Structure 1
C-alpha cells in the first residue's frame, strides 16, 4: 500500500502501535513512575517512547484495516508524539484515545468527521478542530492545552468534556503583536484573519457556533484567557462548577446568542473579566450561586436574554450587572448581588425569590440603575407585589417611583410633586389627607373657641359653633352657611384664610391623587 511505504522503518514503539491498531488494543509506554510519566516532561522522553505523528495519522486514515470481528482504534498511553497529529478533512471510523501523551506540536481535526476522540491527561500545544463533526465523546479531561482550542462551528453528537483541564490562550506566533496585526489587516479580510488564527490571542476556547448534543462538562478548569462561545448550542447544558477563568482581554466568557438546556457558573466558579451572555437562551437554570465575579465596569452582561430560572447569589461580585430587557421566569437573588449597580429597564419576571429581601431592599435595587430613574422597573416590581397579594407593598413601590420621578421634573413640577407627596402621598397614602383635615379642624376649633368671630348681621339670630365654622372654612364650597355669617377678628383672620387655602389644596391634591391611582398602569 502506498500509505505504508514511508513507514518501512518503524521504531519499536511505532511498531507496537502499528500492530495494535487493527484490533484496537492499548499500547502503554509508561514506566509506572508518576514523575517520569508526567506528560509535562514529555520532551525529555527517549526514542523508546517517541512516535511520529504521521504514523498515527496514517493509521487513522486507513493504512491498516480492522481485524475480522474487531474494531480498529488508536489507544495509546505515555507517548511523545512529534509533529502535528493532522487528520483534517478526513472521515475516521476508528476511535482515537490518547492517555498521558505529550503532543508539543498540537492536533488538527479541522473539517474532519470522526468517531469518539479522547485526550485524557495529555500535554498538547494546540487543538484545531473547526467545523469538525464528532459522532461520540470529545474529551480533554485533565489535559493541559497551552495555546487554546478552536472548535468554531463544530458538532459534537455526544458529550464535550474539559473537566480538570488547564487551558491557555495562544502564545508565540499565534499571539501576534499589535504592530504585526496592523500590517496584516491591510492585506487580509476579517474572515481570512480568523482562518489563520490571527486576532484570537485573548481566547483560550474559540468555539462560536459549536453544537453539543450531550452535556458540556467543564468543571474544575483553569483557564488563562477567555472563552468565546457566541451562538453555541449546548442541548444537554454547560457545567463550569469550580472552574477559574482569568481573562487576558475584556471578556472571561463571551456567550452572546448561546442556547443551553442549563448553565452552571456556580459552586466556586471564578471569573476575572466580564461574563457576557447577551441574547442568550437558557431553557432551565442559569446559576451563579457561590460564584466569584470580578471585572472593571460591567461584570455580568445578561441583557435581552430569556432564562427559565436565574440564580444570582454569588459569594463575591465586583462590577455592574446588566439584566435590561431580559425575560426571566424565576429570579432568585440576594441584596448583596448588585454592589456596583444594576440595569433593570425592560426586565420582566414571573417570580422573585430570596428570603433575605425586604421591600426596602427591593426599592434600593430598582434605584441602582446607573442611567438614573426608569419607570418600568418600579411598575414591574409593583405588578409582582400585586400578583402575590401584597397591595400595600405595591403602593409603596409606586410611591417611591413618583418620588424618584420628581427629581427629573422642572422646578414647578418638583414643587407640585412635593405638595402632592406631603398631602396625599401622590394618592397612594390617602389617609394623609384625613390626618391634615383632623389637625386643621382641631386647631381651628380650639382657636375660634378662644377668640370667637363677630357676627356680620347682628339682627340675625344665630348661635356660633366653632367646629362647624372651621369645617365650613375647610370645605371649598360653603355647606353650613357659617362662613358668610361670621367674620374672624384680629390675627385669627390669617388662620381663617389658611384654612380656606388648605381646603382648596387638599381637595385638589385628593382629586389628582385619586386620578393617578385609578389610571391603569402601563404594566397592567
Structure 2
C-alpha cells in the first residue's frame, strides 16, 4: 500500500507506527466508542491499512515499531489469520464495524481495551505476552478456543452480549494461559466455556455476572487452575459446571449467588479441590452436586445449602466452620437414598477436632436413617434399640430403664413375697436382689431359683426376664459398636 492512497487520518497512523508513537483521535476522554458508527472521516481508519502496517509497515533504525491507536473507527474486517506480528497491537477506545479475524495468528501483544466490537475470531491464536480486553464491549461471540497466551488474559468489566448466538458467547475451551485469567466484573449473557482450559495462575471471576437462565452459564469441565478460582460476589444465573476440575488452591464462592431453579446450580463432581468455600451468601437455588469430589477443606455454611444435595462418595479432611451436628445432619438426609459413607465422613470430621458428642449424634442419625431401609421386623427391632439405649450411643438411657424396672419389681415383690420352692433350704427373701436376678441374665444372687411367684406376679417375672435380655443385648450391641468405632 502506498502512502499516497491514505486518508489524512490513516497517514497519521502510518507515520506514527515506525516509532511506536500513540495516536489518539478522541475529542474527549469520555468519548463513547458505541457511537463510533457516526464518527467523521477524520477519525476513520480502514482495517486494510492496519493490516498492511502490521505485516509490512515502515521501520526506523533504533526504534521499536508499534500500532498504538485510540478513538478510531475501524471499517472493514481486520484480517490477520495465520499472520505473524512481531510488535505490539494496541487498539483502545476504538469502534470496529466488523469482528477482527485472528485465527491461528501469532502476536506479540494485543490490547483491545475499552473498544466496541461485533465479535472476535481468535481460535488457536498465540499471544507472546498479554491479551487485554479490559472493559471492552462485544455484541457478538468472542472465540478464543485453543488460544495460547504466555501472559495473562484480562477481561475486567468486559461485557459480551449476543442474543442471537448459537453457541457459547465466550469460548476459551482448551485455552492455555501462562499466568492469570483476570476477569473481575465480567458480564456475559450466554454461555462462557472454559472446558479443558489450563491456567497457570488464578481464575478471577469476582463480581462477575454470568447470565444464562435455564442453561449452562459457565461450562468449565476438566478446568485446570494451578492457583485459585475466585468467584466472590459472583452472580451465576444458570448452571455452574465444574465436573472434573483440578483446583489445588481455593474455589471461593463466598457471597456468590447461584441460581438455577429446577436444575443443578453447582456441579463439582469428580473434582480435586484444595479448599471449597461456599459461605455468607443466599441459599443456593438448585441442586448442589459434589459427588466423588475430593476436597481438603470444605468451608460450607449450613444456611447456604439448598434443599437438594448430592454427596455420594464426597471426601473431605476438614469441615468448617464448626457447627452443631443438628445443623449439618439435614444435608445428609436429603433424598431417598441411604448413603452411609456421608455419615462416616461427617463423623470423622467431628472426631478429628475432638467433638465426640457430635460424632455420636451423627452415628445415631445414621442408624435411624438406615432403619428406614429395613423390612418391618428390622424397623421394629431398630425402634426398640433406639428407645432403650439409642443404638448404644446413649447408654445412660438403659440405666434409667433398669432402675425403673428394678423399682417396680422391688415394690411388687416386697408387698407380696413369692413362695419358696424348698422352705427349709431357701435363703431369706430380698425383693431387690430377686428383681436383679430376673433382670440380669448373666448374674445370679441365688434368689430366682429359690422362689416361685404365682398369678400375675409370675407374669411380671416373665416381663422382667424378657426386658432384661433385650436391654442387655442392646447395651452389648451398642457398646461393641462404640468400641469398634474407637
Residue aligning to 1:196: none
Q: Does 1:473 align with 2:469?
A: no
| Structure 1 counterpart of 2:420, from 455, 461, 468 | 455
Aligned equivalents of 1:258, 1:314: Cα separation in 2: 25
Aligned equivalents of 1:104, 1:449: Cα separation in 2: 105
Aligned equivalents of 1:109, 1:314: Cα separation in 2: 42
Q: Does 1:68 align with 2:61?
A: yes
Residue aligning to 2:273: 307
3-state DSSP class of the match of 1:463? coil
Q: 1:288, 1:314 within 8 Å by CA — same for their partners in 2?
A: no
Stretches of structure 2 lacking an aligned partner (at least 5 in a row): none
Q: Does 1:419 align with 2:384?
A: yes
Aligned equivalents of 1:55, 1:487: Cα separation in 2: 117
How far apart are residue 240 of structure 1 and its match? 1.2
How far apart are residue 460 of structure 1 and its match? 3.0
Deviation per CA, 1:436-494, whole angstroms, max 9, x where unpaired?
22111111111111121112223334311001110111122561232222122332222
Stretches of structure 1 lacking an aligned partner (at least 5 in a row): 176-198
Q: Describe the shift of the 1:33–1:387 C-alpha distance in structure 2 as closer, same or farther (beyond 3 A).
A: closer
Q: Does 1:14 align with 2:16?
A: no
Q: Does 1:341 align with 2:341?
A: no
| Structure 1 counterpart of 2:28, from 6, 27, 32 | 32
1:74-89 to 2 correspondences below 5 Å:
74-89=67-82
| Structure 2 counterpart of 1:292, from 257, 276, 279 | 257
Q: Does 1:103 align with 2:96?
A: yes
Aligned equivalents of 2:20, 2:240: Cα separation in 1: 42
3-state DSSP class of the match of 1:42? helix
How far apart are residue 256 of structure 1 and its match? 0.7
Residue aligning to 1:42: 36
| Structure 1 counterpart of 2:161, from 160, 165, 168 | 168
Aligned equivalents of 2:302, 2:319: Cα separation in 1: 12
| Structure 1 counterpart of 2:462, from 465, 488, 497 | 497
How far apart are residue 272 of structure 1 and its match? 0.5
3-state DSSP class of the match of 2:297? strand
| Structure 1 counterpart of 2:241, from 273, 276, 293 | 276
Q: Does 1:329 align with 2:323?
A: no
| TM-score using structure 2 length | 0.96
How far apart are residue 429 of structure 1 and its match? 2.0
Residue aligning to 2:178: 213
| TM-score using structure 1 length | 0.89
Residue aligning to 1:52: 46
| Structure 2 counterpart of 1:263, from 223, 229, 249 | 229
How far apart are residue 128 of structure 1 and its match? 0.9
Q: Does 1:112 align with 2:105?
A: yes
Q: 2:156, 2:183 within 8 Å by CA — same for their partners in 1?
A: yes
Q: Does 1:126 align with 2:91?
A: no
How many correspondences in the alignment? 483
Deviation per CA, 1:400-454, whole angstroms, max 9, x where unpaired?
1011010011111111111122222222222222222211111111111112111
Deviation per CA, 1:169-196, whole angstroms, max 9, x where unpaired?
363xxx4xxxxxxxxxxxxxxxxxxxxx
Q: 2:163, 2:189 within 8 Å by CA — same for their partners in 1?
A: no
How far apart are residue 229 of structure 1 and its match? 0.4
Q: Describe the shift of the 1:275–1:461 C-alpha distance in structure 2 as closer, same or farther (beyond 3 A).
A: closer
3-state DSSP class of the match of 2:86? coil
The CA RMSD over aligned residues, in Å, is 1.7
How far apart are residue 75 of structure 1 and its match? 0.7
Residue aligning to 2:402: 437
Residue aligning to 1:381: 346
Deviation per CA, 1:4-34, whole angstroms, max 9, x where unpaired?
25x6411111111111111111111111273
Aligned equivalents of 2:458, 2:79: Cα separation in 1: 102
Q: Describe the shift of the 1:116–1:478 C-alpha distance in structure 2 as closer, same or farther (beyond 3 A).
A: closer
Q: 2:214, 2:239 within 8 Å by CA — same for their partners in 1?
A: no
3-state DSSP class of the match of 1:363? helix
Aligned equivalents of 1:134, 1:140: Cα separation in 2: 13
3-state DSSP class of the match of 1:403? helix
Residue aligning to 1:192: none
How far apart are residue 512 of structure 1 and its match? 2.5
1:377-416 to 2 correspondences below 5 Å:
377-416=342-381
| Structure 2 counterpart of 1:319, from 266, 282, 286 | 286
Aligned equivalents of 2:89, 2:214: Cα separation in 1: 34
3-state DSSP class of the match of 2:169? strand
How far apart are residue 249 of structure 1 and its match? 5.6
How far apart are residue 54 of structure 1 and its match? 1.0
Aligned equivalents of 2:140, 2:443: Cα separation in 1: 88
